[in-house]
Amino acid sequence: MTASNETFTNLQKTRRGLDRLLHATGFSAAGLRHGWSEPAFRFEAILALVMLPGSIWLGRTWVETAVLAGTVLLVLIVELLNTAIEVTVDRISAEWHELSGRAKDLGSAAVFLSLLLAAGVWLAALASRLS
């Protein structure tokens, strides 16, 4: 561990309470800014700005509204995790490797499944609402 990494680690251990929460919030905001630089996340986030208020209209109960909103947020969460996997794999090596490709494919499959889940829930809710 280098001296600067050691200092950072010690500083993180000494943070408590609100100070720790504020710093963690800063790291989360930085992660969201990095996510925003990804076209797929940006598209899904803009779509979420429409769908989250739409979940209030479409959901008949608070549970339905929560499930609809939850599926939208799940897509964003999985997209961020997929981006983290891709960035980490790219950081390790720029050369193609079977395991690197597999990791990226698995992350992409997770995003795809979260999109299928969201689409299925929203289509079922729309069908119920319009019938």
Read off the DSSP letter of residue 16: -
Residues ≥6 apart with Cβ < 8 Å to 44 = 75, 76, 79
Selected catalytic residue, list 6, 38, 44, 79: 79
How far apart, in whole angstroms, are the C-alpha atoms of residue 57 and residue 55?
5
Q: By the 8 A CB rule, do 108 and 82 touch?
A: yes
Catalytic residue check, 98? no
Residues ≥6 apart with Cβ < 8 Å to 36 = 42, 45
How far apart, in whole angstroms, are the C-alpha atoms of residue 99 and residue 85?
12
Which residues are known catalytic residues?
79
